[in-house]
Structure 1
Amino acid sequence: MFIFSHVGLTGCVVGYSILGGWIFKGIEAPYERELRRQAGEIREKYTLKIVKVSEEALRDGQNLSNASADLVQEFEEEIVRFTDATGWDGSEEEEEVKWSYSGALLYSVTVITTIGYGHIAPKTKWGRIITMIYAIFGIPLTILCLSIIGSSMASVFKFVYKNICLGCYRQCRRFRAYLDSDEGIPLDAATAAAAAVPNVLVAAGVAAAAEEANIAAKTGLPSEKQTVDLQKGQEIWAVHRTWPNGGDYRRNSSYMRSIPGRGDEECLERAYLAAIGNNEDEEIGTREQNEECDVVNSPSEIELEDSICEKRNGDVVRVPVFVSLLVFAAYIFLGAVLFSLWEKDWDYLVGSYFCFITLSTIGFGDVVPGSTGDSWASAKKQALCSIYLLFGMAMTVMCIKLMQQEVRSIFTNLGRKIGLIETEDEEIKRKRKEIKLKEVKENVSETQNYDKTSDTVVSLQ
């Protein structure tokens, strides 16, 4: 369904926040203006009283300070009672209301993200009731949206990390191996390098084929074995250049299934050793392939092998914890620089403090952008703060998911090393045994049903 897609959920959260901004502005803004008007009336009333008392004191020759001291004290007491009863913040009537649309939008975002700065809060009865209802529906919707968006961002980040960071690293290794192979590595050295370092397998094959070609050129007439080795080396190189993922030969489902053993790395190395003419390794590889790399025949085993290939190739990218922490720190650094430039009273430390308190959903509310009204308008600052907050929450979820996957992988490997969790090979063998046992049971059941049917037909005859 569209509503549960990435675009649908994001649109729902954005629309829900916009709707909340209009609702809370419509409820709280008039009440805030009314409070300021009442506070102004109280001030004006006591100002007139002080003026009247001062005129009487001057006319009668009394002390002006003694006459006005009681009125000032009475004014202070009434203002305190008014503030406690209504929540008036001391703002003047001509100042911009805090419950503008941008302020109400920021309040809505802080409610559904559970940050709750507390710099503004509803004062009316209906405002508080609607806040509870708004949070009941908004918080689950936001959590669902952030979870899905964070998972998608984690997948995108893993893709970028694999194809850019790890891809550049692998290409550098392949290029260095290719340069080393062009300097004339002997056939035995190339074979040993290919068996020891799978990443330079194809480069070593090309080097071996080139070496055989050089020998053939020196001797005049190439032997049959040299000709075959050269052709196979060229075929390996041609296939390598057409493989996806930059020539990654490991578990490539399209080509690897044509190799006996269904694409195991060791099986591929044995096939290469056999291709370059190592008869002893060819015999060992053939024997071990028959023992370990069983050819898959049944649909269940094919499905199992596909899942193994997908598990080894599709989700093998592990992002280190420190990389996730660096991404989170970089986002905080970016926000700290921006907010320190926008707010004149903020330095870099205050900006970093605000960004961390915001993204960690602590939300003290002691520092909030747009509260001073300097440099930029408060509305623009609060709107940008809302955008930074929503995207930052998704970024935080992404980093948490990446770190969670890495920590789970670390402890899983630790459990396999100490014997608490079965290894991947043991799991594969167990699943294959289960599949074979299931197939045997199905065959026995079909045989029994056939025998019963035959006995029934015989009895009827």
Structure 2
Amino acid sequence: MHIEKGGENVKLKEVTKLRGVYSHKLYQVAEMCNIFEKRVFIREADYVLKEYQNLVVEVFRHGYDERKMSDVWTFPAALMYSLSIITMIGYGNMVPKTAYGKLATVIYALFGIPLYILYFLNVGDALAEGFRWIYRWMYKCGTESGNDVTESTKRIIVPSTACLWVIAAYVLTGAVMFGAWERWDFLDSIYFCVTSLCKLGFGDFVPGANIYAEAGSHNGNQTKLMINFVYILFGLGLVAMCYNLMREEIRRETEGV
């Protein structure tokens, strides 16, 4: 964040320069053309404007952002960028512009991705153990014999349907949250949550687009972006949990065969 925040938005300077150059060209066209030669003026002005339009479109294709670097690289936005690197989601909405930023990204990925894999394994095991205990406790409370089933409950395997219900509830919660904050429709919100938790990261929907666009509530919007970060990070842990529980069920079924 510190490296990129102090950098300069080269594309912004380029567009500002283009605007000045083509404003001067339009002034020259107006100065050269006779006021009675309307068709000539329209033709020449149209040529200048189309040339300017094509250049601006080309700049947009190469990542033009009209915001200053200090507005882009806020702390919550940098957290989301870091998360997209180590989880390998890679939304692609934020990219380093400076050479030092690109170098820092490479080094961060080399060390961060192995740490995320450890997080995925360890947090998945911990959440699976906790969910397994809750499921067995609920099973024990639902039986009539109470303490007599203590030994049998230890052999109970959490079914895959329970895991799917947990993931479905989490995705629906995220869909409601992102739909309200990002102004996406329900299907787009579901699509974003599923692709993010599956680590696809197409980049067509990215948290923070409308958050940045809103004015007058900067602090609240940054808080929402932090919550988005926690949602995705914890959701990836839930995916690891469900993977462990479903693997356990499949292993038990295989042993039974």
TM range (shorter): 0.7 to 0.9
Unaligned regions of 5+ residues in structure 2, if any?
Answer: none
CA contact (8 A) 2:182 2:209 kept: no
Q: 1:72 aligns with which of 34, 49, 53?
A: 49
TM-score by length of 1: 0.50
**Residue identity opposite 2:129 in structure 1:** S
Counterparts of 1:4-403 in structure 2, within 5 Å, are 25-31=1-7, 33-58=9-34, 63-79=40-56, 82=59, 87-89=62-64, 91-92=65-66, 97-163=71-137, 165-170=138-143, 173-174=144-145, 247-248=147-148, 315-344=154-183, 346-372=184-210, 373-374=213-214, 377=218, 378-403=221-246
Over 3 Å counting, the alpha-carbon distance change for 1:77 and 1:363 in structure 2 is closer
Cα distance in 2 for partners of 1:357, 1:350 equals: 10
CA contact (8 A) 2:6 2:69 kept: no
**Residue identity opposite 2:169 in structure 1:** A
Higher relative contact order at CA 8 Å, sep ≥6: structure 1 or structure 2?
2
**Residue identity opposite 1:130 in structure 2:** A
Could you give the per-residue CA deviations for residues 437-457 of structure 1, whole angstroms, max 9, x where no partner exists? xxxxxxxxxxxxxxxxxxxxx
> Which structure is larger by alpha-carbon Rg, 1 or 2?
1
Could you give the per-residue CA deviations for residues 54-87 of structure 1, whole angstroms, max 9, x where no partner exists? 1332468563212323322443454456556xx3
Count of aligned residue pairs for this structure pair: 251
Cα distance in 1 for partners of 2:14, 2:169 equals: 48
**Residue identity opposite 2:11 in structure 1:** L
TM-score by length of 2: 0.85
Cα distance in 2 for partners of 1:327, 1:27 equals: 40
Could you give the per-residue CA deviations for residues 101-130 of structure 1, whole angstroms, max 9, x where no partner exists? 322221110110111111222233332222
Could you give the per-residue CA deviations for residues 206-244 of structure 1, whole angstroms, max 9, x where no partner exists? xxxxxxxxxxxxxxxxxxxxxxxxxxxxxxxxxxxxxxx
- RMSD of equivalent CA atoms: 2.7
Cα distance in 2 for partners of 1:157, 1:134 equals: 32
Over 3 Å counting, the alpha-carbon distance change for 1:97 and 1:88 in structure 2 is farther
Could you give the per-residue CA deviations for residues 168-193 of structure 1, whole angstroms, max 9, x where no partner exists? 222xx23xxxxxxxxxxxxxxxxxxx
Could you give the per-residue CA deviations for residues 307-348 of structure 1, whole angstroms, max 9, x where no partner exists? xxxxx77x523101111111111110111111112222x122
